[in-house]
Amino acid sequence: MLSQKDDLSQIAATPIHDGGRVPPGCLVSNQKWRGSQLHNTVKGQVKVIFEDDLGVSDFYPSSEVAVVYVSETDLVAGVGYRRRLAKLRKVNKLKGVVIAEKTPMTEQYFLDLQKFVVLELGMVLQPISSQTEAAGLLAQMVLEEQKPHANPFRLKRRPQSLDSSLLATVQLIPKLGSVKARALLHKFGSIKNISQASQQDLAAVVGVSYAKHIRNFLTHKTAPKR
């Protein structure tokens, strides 16, 4: 574990300071995670640097990627995390990744989370079952940042090809397979355009029944079960 002196010596190298960068192999963490199960697990895998003010973000595995952790409590409350993510989405220079606790308690809220995070905001969503699993994922992200060509969390667009993460995002729509998801992206070009397309336009690509299902999924708000 880093000493307080070590933590402070690295503050100037973090992304919340002008011109600063996250050192390779390090995870910048909000102070609120110090001593948590997540911290105790991840500190044995990568070097952890704590800061008092990371804004709406919980972690930085690199200077370009900001991570927000959505807990069981956040999901059940359903309001606070939306404001945080909307603010992060406005920071164009950062890639937003959301780590969310998918448990029996939060299962009923997860579909709305997927819609908001992936379809509305265009961020990456990674479901986890515990802080221990989240620690492993964060460590993986830190280590993969040193191998950018193999990094699954970088969504670099390639001309004339469909980004695999974008395709996976469209496939979050239940019952929609890879063939139809690919056809939709070829036709409309983006998730935003798909969500704005009429049922008739969608039907021309995937058929009437699938078009109706897609529109219902994109426009229906699931009422929380109490």
| Average pLDDT over all residues of the chain | 78
Mean pLDDT of 194-207: 88
Domain range annotation of the chain: 4-150, 164-219
Find how far residue 217's CA is from the centre of its chain: 20
Q: pLDDT band at 148, cuts 50/70/90?
A: low
pLDDT single digits (tens) 213-222:
888 887 764 4
Residue 128 sits at φ, ψ, to 5 deg, of: -135, 160
CATH number of the domain at 164-219, please? Answer: 1.10.150.20
pLDDT single digits (tens) 38-63:
999 999 899 999 988 788 899 999 88
Q: Do domains 4-150 and 164-219 have the same CATH topology?
A: no
Both structure tokens of 63:
């200077």
Query: Whole-angstrom Cα distance, residue 49 to residue 33?
Result: 11
Query: Whole-angstrom Cα distance, residue 74 to residue 82?
Result: 9
Least confident of 12-21, 42-51, 185-194: 12-21
pLDDT value of position 66: 92
Q: Which percentage of the chain shows pLDDT scores above 90?
A: 24
For the CA atoms of 99, 102, 106, 111, the dihedral, rounded to the nearest 10 degrees, stands at 80
Residue 3 has pLDDT above 80, yes or no: no
pLDDT single digits (tens) 102-136:
989 888 888 888 888 887 788 888 899 999 999 99
Task: Answer with the residue of higher pLDDT: 66 or 222.
Answer: 66
Q: Which CATH number fits domain 4-150: 2.70.150.10, 3.40.50.10130, 3.40.630.40, 3.30.70.270?
A: 3.40.50.10130
pLDDT value of position 98: 93
pLDDT value of position 180: 86
